[in-house]
Amino acid sequence: MLFNLLFMAQEDLFKKLIAHCKEYGYVFPSSEIYDGLSAVYDYGQYGVELKNNIKKYWWDSMVLLHENIVGIDSAIFMHPTIWKASGHVDAFNDPLIDNRDSKKRYRADVLIEEQLAKIEGKIEKEVEKAKGRFGESFDEAQFRATNGRVLESQGKWDALHNRFAEALNNADLAELKQIIEDQEIVCPISGTRNWTEVRQFNLMFSTDMGSTADGAMKIYLRPETAQGIFVNYMNVQKSGRMKIPFGIAQIGKAFRNEIVARQFIFRMREFEQMELQFFVRPGTELEWFEKWKELRIKWHQALGFGTENYRFHVHEKLAHYANAAVDIEYRFPFGFKEVEGIHSRTDYDLSQHQKFSGKKIQYFDPELNESYVPFVVETSIGVDRMFLQIISAAYHEEVVEDSNGQKDTRVVLRLPAPIAPVKLAVMPLIKKDGLPEKAREIIDELKFDFNCQYDEKDSIGKRYRRQDAIGTPFCVTVDHDTAADNTVTIRYRDTMLQERVEISKLRDIILNEVSFRKLFSQLK
């Protein structure tokens, strides 16, 4: 019998994921021996491999597969005027509210979003109940359109949602506070409604650069990597003789002083982004926006975690620089949440940098015989959030039978083979009779192509479980027949099937599964 995360209480599942990540060397709380640092995490020995593979999947899908996309690596420290020009100094704020009794701080918009989610939860419960009652003949669309309780909740949701969107669009902090009061939202810690006013809080970290007090300059840790691309637009366009449309890709750290840091690596204060700025002719940006939406969702879905677990969420409130914006959301254990943002950023950023720097930032279009400030379509995804998405999707608990018919639970990370940290484990059946030497010989041959692991400790069954738990797609066992006929047993993680193969065939069998080609071929 197989049961996976669908059947587990989702909260339990999330706790198990976090514990699993720590136990198996994927993610550790930062500075743990000093009791940790809130919303900062370290990646362990397998975590760093998975993270690097995610970055490779993204980078190669941009830079290798598109001849008109190139990459850069800009500095984290940048001239402070950049953040004035981009609007971050004045507008990169979250609305915060404190509860006077618990002294806890919250994001006002998140409190209201959680209230919306509660109403949504009520509706889903009604639908689930009805599904159970009516079975096969259940018409969900009709039920949603006619059931009294669902309609009542939907009405409340719509009213709250409209009011909330308007308050956000007008940056009306008093109205946000009023909504929290009208909805009787209480602090989850104190249980009271003793709230302060809502205030704006700038999310950028700052520090001083320079050694003397007089000469020191206040600089910011970048809250997005995008600006490093914009300020290098002319450098790349000229030195690479790039013709529009073209893109610049970058992977790098970003920092935000998040008010509410929760949900493990979902929202961190130090995180990594993979961003593409795609420069296009003005007036064509919405066409490119649609193209990038399609390409990016394919990139996610190629990983094989089920197309039904992804959806687009269109933004009601557009950022100050955008004329269209959509998120790609994934069904996390705590609900559908953003993994990636796709924004049509107009010519806002380049025009602002042109204005603030006094330098011309334009493109001469030989086809039109005119110069213009290019428009930009951006795709922006968090490496850490993608990591969490993959781990949540890959984590399965299954009841399996051992060779004696005994039932056992195995935890398996069904990671797509190209991004799995360890590709194969090579195991001598026993620690003598030359088997360890033969196993090492195989590793010495394959280690140039794959991340291999040698494991000789404990029973074969236990070793398989250990590899399942870190997501290794192949285990190769060396036994007494190996020396005689140069064959080994290869065991496949997901099916647990085993077959006898010649050692000389191992490389091709594994390469066929772990190559990024498999993923890239789906991106056409």
According to CB under 6 A, which one of 20, 331, 337, 385 is a site residue for ligand GAP? 385
> Is 215:208 a contact under the CB 8 Å cutoff?
no
Per rule CB under 6 A, is residue 380 in the interface with ligand GAP? yes
Q: Does residue 381 belong to the site contacting ligand GAP (CB under 6 A)?
A: yes
Smallest distance from ligand GAP to CB 382, Å: 3
Q: Using the rule CB under 6 A, is 317 a contact of ligand GAP?
A: no
Residues 160 and 153: their CA atoms lie apart, in Å, by 11
CB 473 within 8 A of CB 420: yes
Closest to ligand GAP by CB, 88 vs 491, is 88
Are 421 and 46 in contact by the 8 Å Cβ rule? The answer is yes
Give the CB-nearest residue to ligand GAP: 382
Phi and psi angles of residue 149, each rounded to the nearest 5 degrees, phi first: -65, -40
Per CB under 6 A, 224 contacts ligand GAP: yes
Report, in Å, the least distance between residue 384 CB and ligand GAP: 5
Should residue 476 be labelled a site residue for ligand GAP when binding is judged by CB under 6 A? no
Per rule CB under 6 A, count of chain residues that contact ligand GAP: 19
Among 27, 297, 303, 339, binds ligand GAP (CB under 6 A): 339
Using CB under 6 A as the binding rule, whether residue 293 contacts ligand GAP is answered as: no
Does 82 bind ligand GAP (CB under 6 A)? Our answer is no
Residue 204 to residues 200, 279, 340, 439: CA-CA distances in angstroms?
12, 26, 20, 52
Instruction: Convert 170-195 to b/e letters by CB count within 10 Å (16 or more is b).
Output: eeebebbbebbeebebebeeeeeeeb
Spatial CA neighbour of 200 closest among 271, 273, 104, 94: 94
Residue 78 in the binding site for ligand GAP (CB under 6 A): no
**Candidates 52-60, 187-195, 264-272, 496-504 — which segment interacts with ligand GAP by CB under 6 A?**
264-272
Piece in contact with ligand GAP (CB under 6 A), picked from 135-143, 266-274, 479-487, 490-498:
266-274
Smaller CB distance to ligand GAP: residue 195 or 305? Answer: 305
**Spatial contact of 252 and 353, defined as CB atoms under 8 Å apart:** no
> Which uninterrupted H or E stretch holds 520?
helix 517-520
Contact between 491 and ligand GAP (CB under 6 A)? no
Q: Write the DSSP symbol of residue 147.
A: -
Query: For residue 212, how many C-alpha atoms fall within 13 Å in the half-sphere facing its CB?
Result: 2
Sites of contact with ligand GAP (CB under 6 A): 224, 226, 256, 258, 267-268, 271, 273, 275, 338-341, 378, 380-382, 384-385
